[in-house]
Amino acid sequence: MSELQAIRQKAADAVNCQSVTLPSGLTVLCRTMPGYSSVHAMYATAFGSVVRNFTLNGRAVELPAGTAHFLEHKMFESEQGDAFDLYARTGASANAFTSYDRTCYIFTSTQKTDENLDILLNMVGHPWFTEATIAKEQGIIGQEIKMYDDSPDWRLLNALFRCLYREHSIRDDIAGTTQSIAQLTPELLYACTDAFYRPGSMVLSVAGNITLEQAVEACRRCGLYDAADQPEVTVSFPNESGELPAREAHLTMPVNKPCFALGYREKPIEKGDIRTEILADMLPDLVCGGMTELYRKLYDEALVNPEFSGDDISIDGCCVIAFTGESEDPQRVAAMVRGEIARLRREGVDPELFTLVKNQMYGELLADMECVDDAAEEIGMACLKGRTLVQEIETLAALTVEDANAAFQTMMLDENCAYVQIDPQE
């Protein structure tokens, strides 16, 4: 084995975990971490806010905006009471979150691991909805929606997505609107759990002071071990091309200084194309990451603050690369970013910078695997995407500067670019 192969093998071993697929179809992942006293668990499904239309055993179901997020809130409630009360008795810290493409239920604890796993699995495995409880939650989430409306970061991204996409449901807020969630019924929520909350559609990932056998035994106790029927579910998304709906958008809000977003609509990345996903994640750091000359110039001239960054999002039917931040001269910053992209397209990426960014991505992934919370969530997120962290790190290892240069020829093109700015209110 060569020295390079040995290094790659060592890196792959550092992100590895145990896994098993139960007869029910549920995938269980475990990263046992000797010497750690805490346990972090995540029970997740690839059902996020962008799923708005699907078929369940041949029956078409149409969902209002905000359904996945609303369902996340409702899963903590049962006929026996609130799951947070049960967690309080065990001393666990519990939460949940909904993104564009997933919903995740989590807890962290240092004791009573088996009891906490039972709470988590039973809570998500036994949904309970009534007209009365839905009406109560509609009022609570209505207040949360107003909070999002007051968030400049959230408004900025939402406006950017509406410039880039005409039909894709990423245009809509994850929480929906007070009008959209008012359309929810028990029947619609049960259709979602029947389609996306069956064992074969979910993953349980755990890390820390726990073993795979312990997690599997919890699944057995909660009725998630034996073979179960898996419904036929199909989900479709529009594949958009052609002219953008809008090139620019300008808003005003009570902010201290202007906020901006420069975004590019990319071709949707095929599921399983880890290489393109990693390149999309890498390109913003090659343009204006903390190790680039452009970032230093922007920072030295006080054009941006440390929050300025580039990022990407890739989900079914949608891929966006965006640069966001605050600036007293946001249009100048956006012009400098576009100019740097054009330069890199002409001249290519500095090989030394490419190596630094690649090593930084290695380091971030390996650092995550040393944190109980991040380890459980990283292995679970990779599984929801149909791959492992070992495959991710092996794909990263194989990338070359030539791959990055080729990506610059087809990505972040001017014709797919939109700009959004939020100015302070007078």
Confirm if 97 and 47 have CB atoms less than 8 A apart.
Answer: no
Task: Give, for all 426 residues of the chain, the pLDDT tens digit.
Answer: 555 566 566 666 667 899 999 999 999 999 999 999 999 999 999 999 999 999 999 999 999 999 999 999 999 988 777 899 999 999 999 999 999 999 999 999 999 999 999 999 999 999 999 999 899 888 889 888 888 888 899 999 999 999 999 999 999 999 999 999 999 999 999 999 999 999 999 999 999 999 999 999 999 999 999 998 889 999 989 888 889 999 999 999 999 999 999 999 999 999 889 999 999 999 999 999 999 999 999 999 999 998 899 999 999 999 999 999 999 999 999 999 999 999 999 999 999 999 999 999 999 998 999 999 999 999 999 999 999 999 999 999 999 999 999 999 999 999 999 999 999 997
φ, ψ of residue 127 in degrees (nearest 5): -65, 150
- The structure tokens listed for 406 are 């080729």
d(CA 111, CA 107): 12
Q: How far is residue 82 from each of residues 130, 139, 198, 346, 383, measured CA to CA in Å?
A: 15, 17, 21, 58, 29
Residues 136, 77: Cα–Cα separation, whole Å? 12
Are residues 174 and 49 in contact, defined by beta-carbon separation less than 8 angstroms?
yes
Q: Are 71 and 190 in contact (CB under 8 A)?
A: no
Query: 312 and 320 in contact (C-beta within 8 Å)?
Result: yes
Burial zone of 265 (CB within 10 Å; 0-12 exposed, 13-18 middle, 19+ buried):
buried
The pTM score is: 0.94
In this structure, the chain runs to a length of 426
Q: How far is CA 248 from the centre of its chain?
A: 26
- Report the run of H or E that residue 186 belongs to, with start and end: helix 186-196
Residue type, 269: I
Place of tokens 């996945």: 68
Residue (of 282, 331, 328, 277) closest to 304 by Cα position: 328
Smallest CA-to-CA distance from 180 within 165, 169, 191, 164 is with 169
CA distance 165 to 246: 9
- Phi first, then psi: what are they for 275, rounded to 5°? -60, -50
Tokens of 49: 């806010």
Task: Report which of 96, 123, 97, 93 is spatially closest to residue 110, judged by C-alpha positions.
Answer: 93
pLDDT of the residue at 5? 63
CB 358 within 8 A of CB 366: no
| pLDDT value of position 8 | 61
- Chain centroid offset of residue 214 CA: 27
**Rounded Cα gap, residues 420 and 426, in angstroms:** 19
> In the numeric block, which tokens belong to residue 60?
């078409």
User: DSSP letter at 318?
Assistant: E
> Is there a contact between 44 and 380 (Cβ–Cβ < 8 Å)?
yes
- Find, among 163, 151, 149, the residue nearest to 419 by Cα: 163
pLDDT of residue 140: 87
Radius of gyration from C-alpha coordinates of the chain = 23
Helix, strand, coil percentages for the chain (3-state, nearest 5): 45, 20, 30
Q: What is the pLDDT of residue 348?
A: 97
Q: Where are the beta strands (DSSP E) in 316-396?
A: 318-326
CB 40 within 8 A of CB 106: yes
- Yes or no: say if 371 and 379 are a contact pair by the CB < 8 Å rule: no
Q: Tell me, what's the pLDDT at 387?
A: 92
Largest CA distance in the chain: 66
- Residue 418: name the closest of 329, 303, 340, 320 by CA: 320
End-to-end CA distance of the chain: 66
DSSP of 87-136: HHHHT-EEEEEE-SS-EEEEEEESS-HHHHHHHHHHHHHS----HHHHHH
Q: Residue holding tokens 């200084």?
A: 257
